[in-house]
Chains A and B, each alone.
Chain A
Amino acid sequence: MHNNLDINVHHITRVEGHGNIVVNVKEGKIEKLQWQVPEAPRFFEAMVRGHSYQDIQTIVSRICGICSITHSLAATKAVEAALGIKVSEQADKLRILMHYSEQLQSHTLHVGYLAAPDFFGTPSVVPLVARAADAVKTIVKAHRIANNWSDLIAGRTTHPVTLIPGGLTRTPTEKQLRQLQQTLKDAVPDLKKIAEVVLSVAANIPKFERPTEYVSLKQTTPPTYTFYHGGVTSNDNKGAVLPIEKWHDVANEYMVEQSTAKWAKWHRDAYAVGALARFNNNAELLSPMAKDAAKMFGLQKDCCNPYMNTVAQLVECFHIVETSIDLIDQLLVRGLKTEKVTSSPKAGKGAGCVEAPRGILFHEYEFDKNGKCVAADICIPTNQNHANIQKDFEKLLPEILDQSEKDIRLKLEMLVRAYDPCISCSTHFLDVQFVR
């Protein structure tokens, strides 16, 4: 047991954006324990005001370099809800296929590049190449497949260009979809290889549990492990599913002193979103290979170990690939048609929701009669997780206080990383010094 402990992690690494961990223990008593987010607000909601309903998805795609497709889809759904725009079955399926590509991109990135170094005990993926070259190459290959998949459907790996209110500007050919389907079938052995590698170091995943409220989308008609359709549910909501328009009743955003980002709570004082939340609310609807992967890791419904979120992401990779192979079959059987998309402005307000790789995401917009945006509200998954990270810290630290300072620090950092947070993604600029 530490009588005195002072941990101050400024800018925790291998998470997106800037977050700090502050631990202060004096004479065995925890005096300060905080998950802090010091980043400046980014005012995207203000930025879209005055813009046409047709431009919203393009602007908000720049919120994030990882979940740009997700932000675009949430925005497009919200615009369509506000203006009463209908989407064809073909466009709907292609959008889901587009969305899956980004889930796979993000999950392979997080599992492979950001979380794996923790399990292997290396500071980053670069030195991991020397220790597990085959594993890194397989992860890079899977990530590359997902990127190319986004290129095909979204028109670009990041910041999609094919998405517009009412549908898509471009339809892939049947040949392209068949090629994609074959690529995904060929990727299955690679995913199994990645799962085996992660399993080989799974003993390094900390064993920690805290009963938690898990919030995610839930689709009942037809029952689907959903990332795109459905309403909002939680394990505290007794099976009830709230319509998306009621998302404010779920998030209940509020401000705290230690963070510039908003926090959220629903039935308890915090809740979690992300792959583990989706798994806990929908696991019985996973594809067969995904269920097998979950079994490999002993991941079961009602798991409340936040570190297992990374495993849940890996499980979802199998579901995404297996379900997409089937989705392409459905598209090919009905035949692809070139669709002309038209829409016209009118006044209205609407909400859209999809699952980002790191959890449920809400967008809401209001437009005037000319289709100009007059109000916007965006609630990102990472903000919904901040309070839960703090609550996890408060249970975890007393349990590990007898460990070395290095181990305590690592476990707290790993906990934050397990949530795959995306604290800010709009700036990336490089600072350099010339060495000659």
Chain B
Amino acid sequence: MTDQTHRNDVVVIGLGNPLLSDEGIGVHLIRKLSENQDKFPSVEFIDAGTGGMNVLHLIANRKKAVIIDCIKMGKKPGTIRQFEPTDVQTTKKMVHFSLHEADILRIIELSRQLGECPNQIVIFGIEPESLELGQNLSKTLSDRINAYLADICNELC
């Protein structure tokens, strides 16, 4: 079993469904980052899929959590933006938890209330171009994969 007391201080979590084109960008990036695990021995990379509330456990008692997700920010498709939870407010119509639509901002709030939230949380949001059924990213996003990786790695150095 995963030993909660001996986990890496830093976790990078990719969220999304890779069967819905750009919705899976977080998962695609985690796969790429995991290929370079040896460069980041103290970092744990996790493909959390659409695991929703499970993120609560994945970030618990870490020093730093980096979350990568497809986010509608009203920006140009392909735009990556780095921010902290306090920089944004959710505009979801669902005001309380559902299971899979578990809003990451509310999970972070619950983590805080439970006293187990990392001191530092960084979110990388990537604006989608396509959310159609399909296992491939749109060209707009796939052309920028290396730039996204550079931004994220920069945060981990």
Mark each residue of chain A from 164 to 183: 1 if its CB lies under 8 Å from any CB of chain B, else 0: 00000000000010011001
Q: Is the CB of B101 within 8 A of A125?
A: no
Q: Is the CB of B100 within 8 A of A66?
A: yes
Q: Is the CB of B125 within 8 A of A65?
A: no
Q: Is the CB of A422 within 8 A of B99?
A: yes
Minimal Cβ-Cβ distance residue in A for B50: A65
Q: Is the CB of B1 within 8 A of A434?
A: no
Whole-angstrom CA separation of A149 from B17 in the bound complex: 23
Q: Is the CB of A125 within 8 A of B49?
A: no
Mark each residue of chain B from 1 to 33: 1 if its CB lies under 8 Å from any CB of chain A, else 0: 110100000000001111110010000000000
Q: Is the CB of A13 within 8 A of B90?
A: no
CB distance from B102 to the nearest CB of A (A): 7
Q: Is the CB of B104 within 8 A of A430?
A: yes
In the complex, whether A137 has a CB less than 8 A from a CB of chain B is yes
Contact for A428 among B17, B86, B96, CB less than 8 A: B17
In the complex, whether B155 has a CB less than 8 A from a CB of chain A is no
Whole-angstrom CA separation of A176 from B101 in the bound complex: 33
Provide the residues of chain B in CB contact with A435, threshold 8 Å.
86-89
CB distance from A23 to the nearest CB of B (A): 20
In the complex, whether A158 has a CB less than 8 A from a CB of chain B is yes
Minimal Cβ-Cβ distance residue in B for A147: B57
Contact residues, A168-204 vs B (CB, 8 A): 176, 179-180, 183
Known: A16-B101, A66-B52, A158-B49. A432 touches B89 (CB 8 A): yes
Contact for B57 among A14, A114, A143, CB less than 8 A: A143
Whole-angstrom CA separation of A432 from B104 in the bound complex: 11
Provide the residues of chain A in CB contact with B128, threshold 8 Å.
429
Whole-angstrom CA separation of A130 from B109 in the bound complex: 12
Interface size class for chain A? 35 or more
Whole-angstrom CA separation of A136 from B113 in the bound complex: 10
Whole-angstrom CA separation of A113 from B105 in the bound complex: 16
In the complex, whether A89 has a CB less than 8 A from a CB of chain B is no
In the complex, whether B63 has a CB less than 8 A from a CB of chain A is no
CB distance from A97 to the nearest CB of B (A): 12
Provide the residues of chain B in CB contact with A14, threshold 8 Å.
96-98
Q: Is the CB of A124 within 8 A of B52?
A: no
Whole-angstrom CA separation of A241 from B93 in the bound complex: 44
Q: Is the CB of B53 within 8 A of A62?
A: no
Provide the residues of chain A in CB contact with B94, threshold 8 Å.
11, 13
In the complex, whether A342 has a CB less than 8 A from a CB of chain B is no
In the complex, whether B72 has a CB less than 8 A from a CB of chain A is yes
Known: A68-B49, A124-B96, A144-B60. A429 touches B131 (CB 8 A): yes
Q: Is the CB of B131 within 8 A of A176?
A: no
In the complex, whether B91 has a CB less than 8 A from a CB of chain A is yes
Contact residues, B103-145 vs A (CB, 8 A): 103-106, 109-110, 113-114, 125, 128, 131, 133
Provide the residues of chain A in CB contact with B83, threshold 8 Å.
434
Minimal Cβ-Cβ distance residue in A for B91: A431
In the complex, whether A43 has a CB less than 8 A from a CB of chain B is yes
Q: Is the CB of B71 within 8 A of A126?
A: no
Given contacts A158-B51, A427-B131, A430-B72, 7 further A-B contacts (CB under 8 A): A65-B54, A124-B95, A130-B113, A136-B114, A158-B49, A432-B90, A433-B89
Which residues of B does A touch, CB under 8 Å? 1-2, 4, 15-20, 23, 47-54, 56-58, 60, 69-74, 83, 86-106, 109-110, 113-114, 125, 128, 131, 133
Contacts A/B (CB < 8 Å), 19 sampled: A16-B98, A16-B99, A65-B49, A65-B50, A65-B51, A66-B52, A117-B96, A126-B109, A152-B2, A157-B58, A158-B50, A158-B54, A159-B47, A426-B20, A429-B16, A429-B72, A430-B72, A432-B89, A433-B88
Q: What 5 pairs between A and B have smallest CB-CB spacing?
A: A65-B50, A124-B96, A158-B51, A432-B88, A425-B100
